[in-house]
Amino acid sequence: MKSFPYIQPLNEMHGKHTTGCCFEALRMPFKSWLFLNVRPLVAPVGQQEPGNRGLLLPPPSSRRPVRLLPFVVDGCEEPGEVKQIKHVTDRQSAQSRSSGRGPAAGDGRQQPGLDVRSTGRAVGHSSDRAGHTCWCLFQTGSHDAMSYCLDINSPLLRSESDLFRLLDGFFYCFTRPVIFKWATTQDKTIEEQLSKGIRYFDLRVAHKPNDLSDDLYFTHVIYTHLTVLKTLECVAYWLDSHPKEVVILACSHFEGMDDERHESFISCLKRLFGSKLCPRKESVLSLRSLWASGYQVILSYESELVARHPQLWPAIPYWWANKMTAEEVISYLDWKKDVGRPEGFFVCGLNLTAPRAHITKNRKESLRTLTFSNWECLRRWVEKQKPGSDRNSLNIIAGDFVGPLPLCSLVIALNHKLRAKTSTQMTQHY
């Protein structure tokens, strides 16, 4: 069964709670909706429950930490395949915790017992590939990497349409559960994604409207409850424990940020990562050269301010199909391959996008169920791809739900094709 937040309306005009769930509001006259502002009903908790990372809401300044109370909707069940994979993942996590073999998220240690290829070790994962440039190797990426901690109580992005914002204001109790399940693209923390082998992170940064603080948040339709700097501190700590790992942080969007906020954010990034930042003028960008120089972070920054800071790289192209089915996404990506790859890094996005008309008509569906139902077709296409510098070879392959789906091990294993290709070329040379 799928859980949705149980929501009560709050009558702001009279300053007191009304009783019953949001569905009671359907019996009210329409004009009563004009004075209703619905909020999630929350209850204080001693500590966060396992598995509720994405639903933990930041408390108001005058309240204790809160969590959403689950409200089970009959008939909203995930497909058997999704529930089975989720069950296996949860069971394995519980076994690791009980046996003491699996470290807690964020402790900076690589999980023991995992195959080197499945952990994405050092991007190229092998000394025989350390001499290849990084854009000739396959790397695994996380689309909207921070959407696992979206704050269902946060405002919509200012870039959303006026009509959507109006509907969200009047029918909050209906729109928010839908937004949450279609905007959530990942279900693993940033540390768990790193340990899985993710080395490219799609990070969409913004400043909340009417927020007097300097805090920045990640976004995908709504805002996260984790701040940007706190999250990146976890990444820096993890890199300290893994000196031969290299990550690509792609910061983009920057809604609500002026030049002053940009400069302040860039200064914080420089202090945080320091000598780990690889300058864009690096002449030879191979794993061996990065290791020799101590560089671990390639920081892509989607702004014209990149020109002022040699530590920043320009925005990395992202091939986004904006399609709902695997067949349509594959058709778009094959067309982009025929046109030819760009120079340097670029991302091939496997993520699916459902139009709002489809979301409205299919209330029991979610981005998770859509992604899982299309996975097999996408997997077969990925297995046919090859690394290298050829015109139609790929570089970074990013997708949704990179935790439960075996995208990391699938993509990383493709780098063996590069060794086979090199061996063939040497044989032909001699």
Of 125, 132, 220, 225, which one is the catalytic site residue?
220
> Could you give the CA distance from residue 376 to residue 399 in angstroms, rounded to a whole number?
13
- Does residue 220 have an active-site annotation? yes
Report CA 119 to chain centroid distance, whole Å: 17
Find the DSSP H helices in 127-258.
Answer: 162-170, 172-183, 190-196, 228-241
Of 125, 132, 143, 225, which one is the catalytic site residue?
143
Task: Give the count of beta carbons closer than 10 Å to the beta carbon of residue 171.
Answer: 16
- Does residue 143 have an active-site annotation? yes
Q: Which residues contact 126 (CB under 8 A, 6 or more apart)?
A: 116, 415, 419
DSSP 331-385: HHHHHHHHH-PPSS--EEE------HHHHHH-TT--HHHHHHHHHHHHHHHHHT-
Alpha carbon distances (Å) from 356 to 30, 182, 330, 349, 375 = 24, 10, 21, 20, 21
> Could you give the CA distance from residue 256 to residue 208 in angstroms, rounded to a whole number?
7
- H/E stretch holding 119 reads helix 116-119
Angle 21-25-29 (CA atoms, 0-180°, nearest 5)?
A: 165
Which single residue is written with the structure tokens 């496997």? 350
| Contact call for residues 26 and 89 (beta carbons, < 8 A) | no
| Contact call for residues 385 and 394 (beta carbons, < 8 A) | yes
The DSSP secondary-structure symbol of 263 reads H
The DSSP secondary-structure symbol of 35 reads G
| Contact call for residues 67 and 5 (beta carbons, < 8 A) | no
- H/E stretch holding 425 reads helix 416-429
Cross-strand pairs, 319: 348
> Could you give the CA distance from residue 243 to residue 296 in angstroms, rounded to a whole number?
7
Task: Give the count of beta carbons closer than 10 Å to the beta carbon of residue 220.
Answer: 22
| Contact call for residues 315 and 266 (beta carbons, < 8 A) | no
Please give the positions annotated as active site.
143, 220
